[in-house]
Amino acid sequence: MFFETDTIAAISTPPGEGAISIVRLSGPEAVAIASKVFQSGTKDLTSAASHTIHYGHICDPQDHLLVDEVMVSVMRAPKTFTREDIIEINCHGGIVVTNQILRLLLRQGARLAEPGEFTKRAFLNGRIDLSQAEAVMDLIRAKTDQAAEMALGQLDGELSRRIKKLRQELLEALAEVEVNIDYPEYDDAEVMTTHLMKEKAKIVRKKIEELLDSAQQGKILREGLTTAIIGRPNVGKSSLLNFLLKEDKAIVTSVAGTTRDIIEEYVNLNGVPLKLIDTAGIRETEDEVEKIGVARSRKALKAADLILLVLNQSEALQPEDIELLEATQGTKRIVLLNKTDLPSRMEMEQLKQWIDPALLLPISVLTKNGLEKLAKKITNLFFAGQVGEKDATYISNIRHIRLLEEAQEALDDVMTGIDQGMPVDLVQIDMTRSWELLGEIVGESAPDELVTQLFSQFCLGK
């Protein structure tokens, strides 16, 4: 079923210089429009077979000036990304030429695509569902291998299949209610129906819970674990950042108070993506600039998923260290005892008042000692030791998480309703709501505004 009648065009490659750029057309007039600007000795695009590629030139039909030498792919409906006719013009990368080609196409009757409109058409024409469309966006934005893999799984329809199964379970219970309403003469029908509904609600609720449990992991793998390196000045925070990044990103000096501003970088530590934040050493200071830096450090400390608290074990524990040990109480943290290449002056017994020894890691950034254990400590904290269990990472999207939580609450209402002896048709309302909420994830009961809003977040030409 085609919802759109116009033909859209956009540049599908990122702006800037590249070896090639792709200008894409989708819609019923795609082939006709492209053929007006395409010239080749023998070929006519309108009679070209589907999924073929053709060499030729783009030429302005008005002044017959050559614009570029190109390869044009012809893909006819319905076996295309949008299920419409698609033309892809591979031209020589470059802003001017690519824009000229786009302008020519628009002059021949194409309309400039809105952001995400190609993917939106794929959705509206039933080729992918909403969660798959979102996966396209996630795939584009993926910053780590795991994130890309997860998005790919979702694009493949894995999440959709799971959600649809859950909806089917609920539907079966709902169908039973209908039977009950149609044949009220069977006395025990209502009892049986509520029993069945409660069982189904329980089963589906449990499965939703499993999906939600994986959400936290999913979020981390997708977005990276926001990791703040915190400590008083000169303990080696920036040195640690540089070591993990394998480059001299942050300035390191023996002057306390070297780092003034937050530095953020992504790094993949044995499969765990970290968004590392190096901060200014926390201390009382009169320096105007440093003050602002310290305030930012405290803010980063609050916002982080993980805190790497760095202490200098070649000095006795300082009041600032103790303050930070207290401030990070109850957060996910690892305390790094740095500079183990120097003699130790830190009282371990005293330190153990503040922190579980399992979370302590003696290191030397200078000699690189002990750092190989850091990744393991992090995975222990967040993944019970295991990273990237493929099966556990389907949910990562905030919208999905919210809907799953709401669906879960509706099922709770079903169960309490039954326990309180509510009439079955009232319980049915809650179960139907849960079924609808799950449907929103895959777009089966998604309101139009949602669809519009979601696709508007895409980049142009996608």
Report if residue 443 touches ligand GTP, rule: CB under 6 A. no
Judged by beta carbon, residue 31 or residue 361, the one nearer ligand GTP is 361
Of 116 and 233, CB closest to ligand GTP? 233
Distance CA 242, CA 415 (A): 54
Residues that contact ligand GTP, how many (by CB under 6 A):
24
Query: In terms of DSSP H, where are the helices of 189-285?
Result: 189-223, 237-245
Binds 199, which of Mg ion, ligand GTP, none (CB < 5 to 8 A, cut-off by type)? none
| Cis bond upstream, residue 78 (ω within 30) | yes
Report the alpha-carbon angle 48-119-275, nearest 5. 130
Count H helices and E strands in the chain, helices first.
15, 13
Position of minimal CB gap to ligand GTP: 281
Q: Which of 5, 42, 254, 420 binds ligand GTP (CB under 6 A)?
A: 254
Question: Which lies closer to Mg ion via its Cβ, residue 227 or residue 238?
Answer: 238
Share of the chain residues as helix, strand and coil, in percent rounded to the nearest 5: 50, 15, 35
Nearer to ligand GTP, 197 or 229 (CB): 229
Which range binds ligand GTP by CB under 6 A, 198-206, 249-257, 301-309, 407-415? 249-257
Count the neighbouring beta carbons within 10 Å of the beta carbon of residue 28. 15
Which residues, 202 to 261, sit near Mg ion by CB under 5 A?
237-238, 258-259
Which lies closer to ligand GTP via its Cβ, residue 132 or residue 259? 259
Identify which of residues 162 and 339 has a Cβ nearer to ligand GTP in the complex.
Answer: 339
341 touching ligand GTP, by CB under 6 A = yes
What is the residue-wise DSSP string for 217-234?
HHHHHHH-EEEEEE-STT
Q: In terms of CB distance, is 4 or 315 closer to Mg ion? A: 315
* Interaction between residue 297 and ligand GTP (CB under 6 A): no
Q: Phi, psi at residue 214, to the nearest 5°? A: -75, -15
Residues 257-296 that bind ligand GTP (CB under 6 A): 257-259, 280-281
Phi first, then psi: give them for residue 279, nearest 5 degrees. Answer: -125, 165
CB 261, min distance to ligand GTP, A: 10
Q: Is 379 in the site for Mg ion (CB under 5 A)?
A: no
Q: Is 231 in the site for ligand GTP (CB under 6 A)?
A: yes
364 touches Mg ion (CB under 5 A): no
Give the one entry of ligand GTP, Mg ion, none that residue 462 binds, where binding means its C-beta sits below a cut-off of 5 to 8 angstroms depending on kind.
none
CA distance 213 to 32: 51
Shortest Å, Cβ 347 to ligand GTP: 19
The whole-angstrom separation of Cα 136 and Cα 447 is 20
Nearest to 397 by CA among 443, 360, 361, 333: 443
CB 83 within 8 A of CB 122: yes
3-class SS of residue 256: coil
Binding site for ligand GTP (CB under 6 A): 231, 233-239, 252-254, 256-259, 280-281, 338-339, 341-342, 364-366
Binding site for Mg ion (CB under 5 A): 237-238, 258-259
